[in-house]
Amino acid sequence: MIFDRFRKQKERSADSPANPSDAQARDQTESREFLTGDAAIDRRSLQLLLDTMAEVGTTLDLDRLLVDLVDKSIETTRSERGFLLLTDEQAGDEAVPGTIEPALNVRVARMLGGKDIPLDTGYSTSVARKVFSTGAPIANVVQSSQQALDLGQSVYDLKLRAVMCVPLESRGQRYGAIYVDSRAERLEFTGRDLAFFAALSQQLAVSLDNARLYTESVERARLTKELELARRIQKQLLPEPSDLPADLEAGLWFEAAAEASGDTYDFVVGADGSVCVLVGDVSGHGIGPALIAHSAQAAITSYLEVLKEPADVLRRLDRRFARTVETGSFMSMFVARIEHREDGGRQVRYVNGGHGCAWHVHAQGVDALATSGPALGVADGFDYVAPAPRRLETGDLLFLCSDGLTEARNRERDLFGEARILEVLRRAHGKGAQAVVDELRTACEAFSNGFDDDVMLVAIAAKPTRSGRPH
């Protein structure tokens, strides 16, 4: 029943040490229950309580509920002022730190007539602290200066005549208290008033908890919707290669570990028949790394319109990264330019900023494309230098991936590793870009027990034209 909790609180209060004022309140409580036996009085009291519960219980707006909670407390107890005190975890940004102790803060402060008062307005912090720590309600009528001092210095200083406070508890969790007071000499809190206030606070606590759970569920739904939108936008920003020259073929596979990924790639086809390919991997997961990744992708695409040297592109991006990205974030980046040689074939000029997963597959074997320097954001102003160009003959391919492939794990937590990648790449010459990507995807999916990181595979291969040789 709704009053069982109050009866248990009385038992706890009776077992705990108390000063004379507390003893007086306890005697009143024990001698007068909420129900008096007078049918007319009890009917009015129950109706007031039920009407208050119904009004507060239908409110799911958390901020409005908190104010209603205090206003109803003032109204039902005929007090002058009311305060809602919440733990740090519940209080949120509007709390005034240190109002009582690190555990509690004032969230709402109101006066009779439904008016706000400053959150730092004085009240009996000692009463609130005791109620919150013990879980036992307190109702005191101050009849002398000594009784005021026994309750606390603030009661004496504020000349308070009556003070009442009950804990806010719901589902076994104590997360605050409701406090009311008055300086009116005519007001006397009785045990029945305290029973009424305790019953009301129980329903208010449940309503507050329900509103909090509702707000959290709405926020989760909103976040889920926004993340799904981010995922769709990101998918649109990661393009399928198109308009590639006839002698080049690209292959792709991308699997995000979360709704938004810090991996990015792009293909930029030049008017001179060149193709630039980039692969980047930002540290971390989620919306933040995804924004960084696609900002870098957009910047590089713009740089490639005017800069021919991949090293110049990476140096400029590194300077931009240092200016705009917070310390602690970094991004590996591989940029390659596949262009015509004077003898009619293809060559690759590339620069590798800390991206360890890059290989050149050719007829004689597989070469790792060594890094040209650290990831972006690690050494501000690093002077990246591109190695000598590499020939890209018919059947050759560049294979690039994020570390999500090498770090994929099976049920025994073994890594997929580079050895398994190289096992596939050693047989990859002449197979074509998408065929190699598909073979590695199949091997990875068969090996792994889900993905803890984003997985991105990009390949670009030189294939013969009608003349039997690269264009």
State residue 194's pLDDT score.
Answer: 77
pLDDT band at 258 (very low <50, low <70, confident <90, very high): low
pLDDT band at 15 (very low <50, low <70, confident <90, very high): very low
Q: Does 21 score more than 80 pLDDT?
A: no
State residue 457's pLDDT score.
Answer: 93
- Per-residue pLDDT reduced to its tens digit, 79-106: 899 999 888 655 444 444 444 444 688 9
Buried-state track 418-442, b at ≥16 Cβ within 10 A, e below 16: bebbbebbeebbbbbbebbbbbbbe
Question: pLDDT higher for 427 or 37?
Answer: 427
| 191-237 vs 20-31: helix crossing angle, rounded to 10 | 100
State residue 395's pLDDT score.
Answer: 94
pLDDT band at 18 (very low <50, low <70, confident <90, very high): very low
Distance CA 250, CA 460 (A): 4
State residue 96's pLDDT score.
Answer: 47
Q: Which strands, in side-by-side order, build the sheet including 263-269?
A: 263-269, 275-282, 331-340, 346-353, 390-392
pLDDT band at 358 (very low <50, low <70, confident <90, very high): very high
- Per-residue pLDDT reduced to its tens digit, 224-249: 665 566 566 555 556 677 789 999 99
Question: pLDDT higher for 377 or 30?
Answer: 377
List Cβ neighbours of 465 (8 Å cut-off, separation of 6 or more).
246, 247, 471
pLDDT band at 5 (very low <50, low <70, confident <90, very high): very low
- Per-residue pLDDT reduced to its tens digit, 402-422: 888 988 888 888 999 999 999
State residue 93's pLDDT score.
Answer: 42
State residue 94's pLDDT score.
Answer: 45
Across all residues in the chain, what is the average pLDDT?
A: 77
Question: pLDDT higher for 328 or 309?
Answer: 309
State residue 77's pLDDT score.
Answer: 78
- Per-residue pLDDT reduced to its tens digit, 101-158: 446 889 899 999 889 999 988 888 888 888 888 888 888 777 667 666 766 677 777 7
Distance CA 278, CA 361 (A): 17
Q: Take residue 33 and report the two structure tokens written for it.
A: 């229950």
pLDDT cut 70: percent of the chain above it: 71
CB 86 within 8 A of CB 101: no
Question: pLDDT higher for 61 or 76?
Answer: 76
Question: pLDDT higher for 96 or 397?
Answer: 397
CB 355 within 8 A of CB 315: no
Question: pLDDT higher for 264 or 391?
Answer: 391
Q: Does 279 score more than 80 pLDDT?
A: yes
Q: Does 74 score more than 80 pLDDT?
A: yes
The residue among 314, 313, 404, 425 whose CA lies nearest residue 359 is: 425
